[in-house]
Every structure is written in C-alpha cells, then in structure tokens.
Chains A and B, each alone.
Chain A
C-alpha cells in the first residue's frame, strides 16, 4: 500500500471508528429510553438541522475562528515579550509570576462581562478574552524555553566572549522555538474556548454571529438539535485550529527535531 495513504489511515481510522461507535450508541440510547428531542435529539435530527443552517454555522465558524486566530496571535506576541522580560532576571520573574498564574486561574466567565464593559459589545472584546485565556501557556512555555540552557552551550558562548544580545539571539531565542510551538498548540484550543465564552456575553458584531452566540441562542430558545450542531461545529473548529498550529509548528521545528 502507498505509505502515505497507510499513515493517513493509521492516523484517521481509529478516531473515525470511535466516532461511528459513539453516534450509534447515542442513537440507540435515544431510541431505547425514548428521550424527548428537546433533551437529546437523534444524530439524524442534528445532521438535518446542521444542513438547514449550514450557512449560519459556516459563517459563525469563520467569525469565531478569525477571532480565535487573532487572540492566539496577540497572545503569542505579548506572551513572548513577557517571557523575554521574565528571562532577563530571576527577581523580575518572581515578581511577575503570580500575576501570570492569575491569568490561568481567574474564571474567564467572571471577567468576560468586565472586558465587555470596558471594550464594548463587539469583536475587539471577544478577541481580548481569547487573548487572555491563551496567554498563560505561551508565557510559561517560552520562559522555560528561554531559560532552559545547556550549561556547556552557555560556556561555549562565554569562552567566545558573546554579548548578552548575541546569546539571546543566537542561543536562547532559537532554542525556545520548540517550547513556543508547544505553548501555541495548547493555546490553540484555549483561544477557541475564549472566543466562545466571549460570544456568550457579547455575541453581536453587527449582524454577524459567531458559534458562541449560536450556542447561547439555541440554548435560550430550547432548540436542542441546533445547540448540538453548534457545539459540534465549535469542537471541529477547535480541532482545526489545533491541526493548523501543529502543522505550522512541525514545519518550523523540522531542524530542531533532526530532519531537514
């Protein structure tokens, strides 16, 4: 068999089989316990609703995806800068770290309304919320990457009288790339969650609605099939984000992992 096809099958077949099993079990459960559709709709009903509303779901996914990408991008830029400052001194790192942890522990649903109060009901607030939840893994991973140094490598730079800047540019930053990529992979999922939470509270950007607003709306109006369709769409969006960032990351770190 074609080795590429073989690898693709090995990668995608197991989760697809699992998916099929779950759908069958779900369908069986609805039929067996005679669950009312407003509680649990059948897979077929969800599929039908998804088909009927595919334009809204698609544009919702695009809008949510765009906001998540922007939030993730902002968290990369700001997170790498903060990590850079942290890596410059232990004291600064000790002073700043509790606040970085705050980013991770603060319940985002609690501060989302506050962000919207400050930045308005709109796209920018949603991006900011996504940015906040994506930031922490970038900061910690990049800080670890910048400060995890091979002692011999440091000595090599010292014997060659390297300046701090040379060490940063030629050793620390390139050395941190795989760590930044790992952080971005974690944050790729978080960024989508951030946007969905944001849209719960501020889902109207003009007359365009993101997936988070669709979830909120479907829930409020008890359109359970639509709710399922929107939730599944946002899961797929999260997967797509993860795949995208993983793909870019793999390309970026080819050399670090020892292949050209």
Chain B
C-alpha cells in the first residue's frame, strides 16, 4: 500500500464567518474568514489569547464552530474523521511519549492507522533521517535536547505524509539559534513535499522567513486584521534574514501586530 496517493493532495482550508464561543461564554473567534491555498505556507500572528490555537483546533476538527463553516479540501462537510486522516498537528511542546524511543514515537501515527508493515518501517526510518536524527532512533525523549525533541515531533507529524500540517508555536520554547535552524529545516521539508502549512507563532521574523503570506489576527475575539504577502522566492536560506527587504517587511508586520493589541 502506498501512503496517501497524490490524488488525495488537494487539501485547502476555507473558514467562512467562523465564530466560536466556549461554554463559559468566552467568545474566542468572531466572524473569521480565512482561505489557505493548496500547498501554501501560511503563518498566523496575533496577540496571545486572541484565538490562534482555537482556530487551529477548528481546522483540525478538534472543535466545532458555534456558527460559520470550516471546509477542508473543497469538501463542503465540516472537518471530520475522514479528512482528519490527512492532517498532522505539531504542538508547542514536543508531546512525546516518554516510554517510547524516538523510532516508536515517530511510528505512533502509523500504528494508530494500523499501517506498520515493511513500508511503514521504511517511512519511519526515512523521516527520522530527514530531521537529522538517524543516530538517535533508539534514544528516549529524556535523552534528547529540546531542539531534538521538536525534530522528533516534526518527524512524527510527517510520517503519514499529511497534505495539511498545522503547527502551533512549535519552536517557541527553543533558543534562537535552534529555532532558526529548525525554520530552515522545516522550509526544506516543505519544499520537498509541498504540504499545506498553517504556522502559528509569536515571532514575526520567523513568520516572514517561513511563509508566503502572514495573517495578523486581532485581539480576542479573533478575526483577521491584515494579510501581508511575503514575496521572497524559494528556496530561502539563512542569508535572507540579513536582507533589507526582509527587515522592512518584518517591520511592517510588527507594526500591524502592535496595532492589533489596541
């Protein structure tokens, strides 16, 4: 069996007039409209508590909107069980099972799908290789640095060849150098597989470096305040961060973000 056939790679995300009110009356999102193209790399920035994680959970089908609709891959249904198989989620914490080795943590999504045959094993080895952890496959999470743990988390997300990768401040807890290196690695992985990526971050420079478009959200209840296209061509490398255009765009986004704090 092959991992999702190429015909399945049509996921794009559409949120229309999405509002979400939690049980205790907190309105996290209000009339949010957002469209993410096939294979697009989109970053989302916004004040803390503005509903970024909530929006990601809606897209992943972990929450349902109070009103409005969430479409995945042109599908008119809400994000549900079936489409979820094609989505991977990377959290701020590595969220690894401490009693499982790197290899077995990465294998988990395949196990849960009942797909650990020879091909599954090959795929596990391949993604571990891709994130540069070949020599650490048998290590346990506690034996790895924070950056390495996050690489394991990325490998686990990629093992199923998702067409949509959702990342919720994945590198926020890492030091700057490690964060930048992981940015470059993530971009290389994206260039290779061209999954759709929605990347939430607090770090404007990171958002600009990674994505084709940056969405700035308003303070709670969250909605889209501004969309900033990022024109730099791919592949991008570390030198981009030193370019004047990069600094100017980062400044623009930062200014918009400051306004969003009101």
Binding site for B on A (CB under 8 A): 150, 152-153, 155-162, 166, 170-171, 174, 177, 255-260
State which residues 191-245 of B face A: CB under 8 Å.
none
State which residues 28-54 of B face A: CB under 8 Å.
none
Kindly identify which residue among B84, B89, B91, B98 contacts A161, using a CB–CB cutoff of 8 Å.
Answer: B84
Nearest-CB residue, chain A, relative to B81:
A161
* A157 / chain B contacts, CB cutoff of 8 Å: 112
Nearest-CB residue, chain A, relative to B92:
A152
* B87 / chain A contacts, CB cutoff of 8 Å: 159
Q: Is B22 an interface residue (CB 8 A)?
A: no
Q: Is B97 an interface residue (CB 8 A)?
A: yes
Q: Is B68 an interface residue (CB 8 A)?
A: no
* Chain B residues with a Cβ closer than 8 Å to the other chain, count: 25
Kindly identify which residue among B85, B95, B142 contacts A258, using a CB–CB cutoff of 8 Å.
Answer: B142
Complex-state Cα separation, A158 to B142, whole angstroms: 24
- The answer to whether A152 and B99 touch (CB under 8 A), given A161-B81, A161-B85, A166-B112, is no
Q: Is B111 an interface residue (CB 8 A)?
A: yes
- The answer to whether A160 and B99 touch (CB under 8 A), given A152-B91, A255-B140, A259-B142, is no
* A161 / chain B contacts, CB cutoff of 8 Å: 81, 84-85, 112-113
Kindly identify which residue among B62, B99, B113, B141 contacts A158, using a CB–CB cutoff of 8 Å.
Answer: B62
Q: Is B93 an interface residue (CB 8 A)?
A: yes
A156:B91 contact, CB within 8 angstroms? yes
- Give the interface SS of chain A, mostly helix, strand, loop or mixed: helix
- The answer to whether A258 and B112 touch (CB under 8 A), given A155-B62, A156-B89, A161-B81, is no
A256:B98 contact, CB within 8 angstroms? yes
Would you give 20 A-B contacts (Cβ < 8 Å), ordered by A? A150-B93, A152-B95, A155-B60, A156-B91, A159-B60, A159-B62, A159-B89, A160-B84, A160-B108, A161-B85, A162-B112, A166-B111, A170-B112, A256-B98, A257-B142, A258-B143, A259-B142, A259-B143, A260-B140, A260-B143
**How does the 8 Å CB contact mask read for B83-106 relative to A, with 1 for contact and 0 for none?**
011011101010101110000000
Q: Is B109 an interface residue (CB 8 A)?
A: yes
- The answer to whether A170 and B111 touch (CB under 8 A), given A159-B89, A161-B81, A255-B140, is yes
A258:B98 contact, CB within 8 angstroms? yes
Complex-state Cα separation, A158 to B89, whole angstroms: 10
* A177 / chain B contacts, CB cutoff of 8 Å: 99
**Chain A proximity of B59: nearest CB distance (Å):** 11
- The answer to whether A156 and B95 touch (CB under 8 A), given A166-B112, A255-B140, A258-B140, is yes
Complex-state Cα separation, A256 to B99, whole angstroms: 5
* A174 / chain B contacts, CB cutoff of 8 Å: 97, 99
Complex-state Cα separation, A157 to B60, whole angstroms: 12
**Chain B proximity of A154: nearest CB distance (Å):** 9
Complex-state Cα separation, A255 to B95, whole angstroms: 15
7 tightest A-B contacts by CB? A258-B142, A160-B112, A152-B91, A152-B95, A255-B99, A162-B112, A159-B89
**Chain B proximity of A8: nearest CB distance (Å):** 26
Complex-state Cα separation, A174 to B98, whole angstroms: 10
* B85 / chain A contacts, CB cutoff of 8 Å: 161
Complex-state Cα separation, A153 to B141, whole angstroms: 15
**Chain A proximity of B80: nearest CB distance (Å):** 10
B95:A153 contact, CB within 8 angstroms? yes
**Chain A proximity of B57: nearest CB distance (Å):** 8
Complex-state Cα separation, A166 to B114, whole angstroms: 11
Complex-state Cα separation, A177 to B100, whole angstroms: 13
**Chain B proximity of A24: nearest CB distance (Å):** 45
Nearest-CB residue, chain A, relative to B61:
A159
Complex-state Cα separation, A48 to B166, whole angstroms: 74
State which residues 133-184 of B face A: CB under 8 Å.
140-143
B97:A171 contact, CB within 8 angstroms? yes
Complex-state Cα separation, A116 to B258, whole angstroms: 75
* A255 / chain B contacts, CB cutoff of 8 Å: 98-99, 140, 142
Which residue, of B84, B97, B143, has the highest number of chain A Cβ atoms within 10 A? Answer: B97
* A170 / chain B contacts, CB cutoff of 8 Å: 97, 108, 111-112
* B81 / chain A contacts, CB cutoff of 8 Å: 161
User: With A160-B108, A255-B98 given, can you name 13 additional A-B contacts, CB distance below 8 Å?
Assistant: A150-B95, A153-B97, A155-B60, A155-B89, A159-B84, A160-B109, A160-B112, A170-B112, A177-B99, A258-B98, A258-B141, A259-B142, A260-B143
Nearest-CB residue, chain A, relative to B139:
A260
Complex-state Cα separation, A255 to B87, whole angstroms: 30
* B142 / chain A contacts, CB cutoff of 8 Å: 255, 257-259
Complex-state Cα separation, A106 to B117, whole angstroms: 53
Which residue, of A150, A160, A257, A259, has the highest number of chain B Cβ atoms within 10 A? Answer: A160
Complex-state Cα separation, A231 to B242, whole angstroms: 77
